[in-house]
Amino acid sequence: MSQSLLKVTDLKKAYGAIQAVGGVSFEVQPGEIFGVIGPNGSGKTTLFNSMLGQITPDTGRIELNGEDVTQCGPLELNRKGVGRTFQTLQVFGKMTVRDNLIVAAQEHKGTMFGRMFAPGDSGLGGKADALIKRFRIEHVADKKAGELSYGQQKLVDIAMAFMSEPDLVLLDEPCAGVNPSLVGGISTLLKDLNRNPASGKKSSFVVIEHNMDFVMDLCHRIMVMVEGKVMAIGTPAEIRGNKQVLDAYLGA
């Protein structure tokens, strides 16, 4: 078997007497879409923030392509090939859609000195235009992001995560607040990006989402968390057929 892209081993994080994450272990393979589900308070967000370097776990280990990145901060992880979206939108409302994408990738263009003497778009305009076309938002490319609908801003937010050609993209509730008519389109888009990456380099995704239909349709495997621990990991069919999961979370 090939080396795991992401390997999390016995990760723990407590806040006082509350064990938010209590010894979570899992692996994500290259090219895999891996879902994380669980009720509110199950530890999903703490797990995500640990993987993104926003908080430091108490114990455990996080490896990216075999390298220990447990102590790495968000910027260092981004430069090592980790992209992300947030529950709340992170677009720059007063900038155009195109400029949002360009800014999202500028940290990957080397030194500040080099960027100062780069073209006005830091040489990233072509890549931004290709993603804008891929996301079917050409008609709003020159509009300010703050003028777009919430669903369109979500698409911009997701596109920004792909500008750095990441190995791993962490998607935090990509469907939250999105009109149900757009949910299927986001699923189709993510599947296409997974199968046919724009850069030719296949990305893996880790997705937190409360929309069960979306997760079951999109993900290759799913991890169920309850009270900070892993209850089950399996294919969508295995999770749907797991009585313990049904009783604890999905509802029989």
HEC string of 48-73 equals HHHHCCCCCCCEEEEEECCEECCCCC
Tell me the pLDDT tens digit for each residue of 82-129: 988 877 778 889 999 999 998 888 755 544 433 333 445 556 788 899
d(CA 69, CA 2): 19
Half-sphere exposure of 192 (CA within 13 A, CB side): 12
Answer whether residue 223 is part of any domain.
yes
Integer Rg of the chain from CA: 18
d(CA 236, CA 112): 45
Answer whether residue 22 is part of any domain.
yes
Tell me the pLDDT tens digit for each residue of 77-92: 988 999 888 777 788 8
* Residue where one domain finishes, among candidates 146, 164, 182: 164
Q: Is the pLDDT of residue 11 over 70?
A: yes
Per-residue tokens: 46 = 């703490």
71 and 174 assigned to the same domain: yes
Domain containing residue 117: 92-164
Higher pLDDT, 88 or 157: 157
Question: What is the pTM assigned to this prediction?
Answer: 0.88
39 Ramachandran zone, left/alpha/beta (phi>0; psi -120 to 50):
beta
* Residue where one domain finishes, among candidates 164, 183, 199: 164
180 and 249 assigned to the same domain: yes
248 and 179 assigned to the same domain: yes
The whole-number pLDDT of residue 119 equals 43
- Return the ∠ at Cα 219 (arms to 206 and 173), rounded to 5°: 50
Assign residue 195 the CATH number of its domain.
Answer: 3.40.50.300
152 and 196 assigned to the same domain: no
Residue from 22, 29, 83, 19 nearest 51 by CA: 83
Tell me the pLDDT tens digit for each residue of 190-221: 998 888 776 556 779 999 998 888 999 999 99
74 and 177 assigned to the same domain: yes
The whole-number pLDDT of residue 114 equals 38
d(CA 78, CA 89): 18
| Mean pLDDT, residues 46-59 | 93
* Residue where one domain finishes, among candidates 164, 188, 204: 164
Q: Is the pLDDT of residue 168 over 70?
A: yes
The whole-number pLDDT of residue 122 equals 57
d(CA 163, CA 143): 19
Answer whether residue 160 is part of any domain.
yes
- Name the average pLDDT for the chain: 87
Answer whether residue 189 is part of any domain.
yes
The whole-number pLDDT of residue 200 equals 58
Tell me the pLDDT tens digit for each residue of 54-77: 999 999 999 999 999 999 999 899
172 and 193 assigned to the same domain: yes
66 contacts 3 by C-beta, under 8 angstroms: yes
Answer whether residue 175 is part of any domain.
yes
Answer whether residue 140 is part of any domain.
yes
154 and 203 assigned to the same domain: no
Which amino acid, residue 78?
A: N
17 contacts 203 by C-beta, under 8 angstroms: no
68 and 189 assigned to the same domain: yes
The whole-number pLDDT of residue 124 equals 78
Nearest-10 Cα torsion for 39, 42, 47, 48: 20
Answer whether residue 219 is part of any domain.
yes
What domain count does the chain have? Answer: 2
The whole-number pLDDT of residue 113 equals 38
| Mean pLDDT, residues 151-175 | 91
Q: Which residues contact 186 (CB under 8 A, 6 or more apart)?
A: 154, 155, 158, 174, 175, 178, 214
Rounded (10°) angle between helices 180-195 and 125-134: 120
